């Protein structure tokens, strides 16, 4: 799975959905429940990390902005979203951990973040690590009829207690 595919926002209001499985429900168990190897096959597994940033006094949040950095083997990108989760701009490649707005790549993302933060630095608020596992459900002919994605997530933050760790 490419980083671009991982960032593609296919979850619109018309198809937003999913199932919340128990935290220890791994891909092998799900494949077995789907009928075993003759009816379901595993695909690529993509590890990723998602970091959320704001100032110590939540300036971005107060401005209705959410800044995150998505990282995988393919690289890291910054995403700026509104308070409803909609992308305001295209993702911007940025391999370093963001800190001062002036250090961000020139463009609209830097301009909006700098305007909201004024003279404040970005701080990491929470880190979500995970794996995206692609699964294929097969028909009697062995052809793929459904593609699934199993996300396994874990949050690391001083303010968040992960009860399922």
Between 140 and 14, name the one with better pLDDT.
140
For residue 6, what pLDDT band results from cuts at 50, 70 and 90?
Answer: very low
Tokens 């933050």 belong to 157
Return d(Cα 69, Cα 90) in angstroms, integer: 13
Mean of all residue pLDDT scores within the chain: 86
Question: What is this structure's pTM?
Answer: 0.76
| Residues forming a β-bridge with 71 | 49, 76
CA torsion sign for 3, 131, 97, 120 is positive
Return d(Cα 51, Cα 123) in angstroms, integer: 10
> In the β-sheet with 65-72, what is the strand arrangement from edge to edge?
92-93, 75-82, 65-72, 40-54, 123-138, 144-156
Tens of pLDDT, residue by residue over 84-107, are 999 999 999 999 999 999 999 999
| Cβ contact 127:53 at 8 Å | no
Nearest to 123 by CA among 77, 64, 55: 55
With vertex at residue 155, the alpha carbon angle to CA 150 and CA 158, rounded to the nearest 5 degrees, is: 175
| Cβ contact 156:126 at 8 Å | yes
């Amino acid at each position: 799975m490419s980083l671009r595919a991982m960032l593609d926002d296919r979850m619109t209001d018309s198809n937003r959905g999913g199932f919340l499985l128990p935290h220890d429900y791994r891909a092998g168990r799900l494949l077995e429940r789907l009928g075993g190897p003759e009816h379901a096959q595993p695909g690529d597994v993509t590890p990723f990390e998602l970091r959320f940033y704001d100032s110590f006094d939540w300036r971005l949040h107060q401005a209705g902005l959410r800044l995150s950095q998505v990282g995988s083997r393919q690289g890291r990108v910054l995403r700026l979203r509104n308070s409803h989760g909609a992308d305001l701009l295209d993702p911007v490649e940025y391999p370093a951990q963001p800190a001062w707005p002036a250090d961000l790549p020139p463009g609209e993302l830097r301009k909006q973040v700098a305007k909201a933060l004024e003279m404040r630095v970005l701080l990491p608020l929470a880190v979500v690590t995970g794996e995206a596992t692609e699964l294929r459900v097969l028909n009697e002919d062995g052809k793929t009829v459904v593609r699934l994605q199993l996300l396994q997530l874990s949050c690391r933050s001083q303010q968040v207690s992960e009860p399922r760790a």
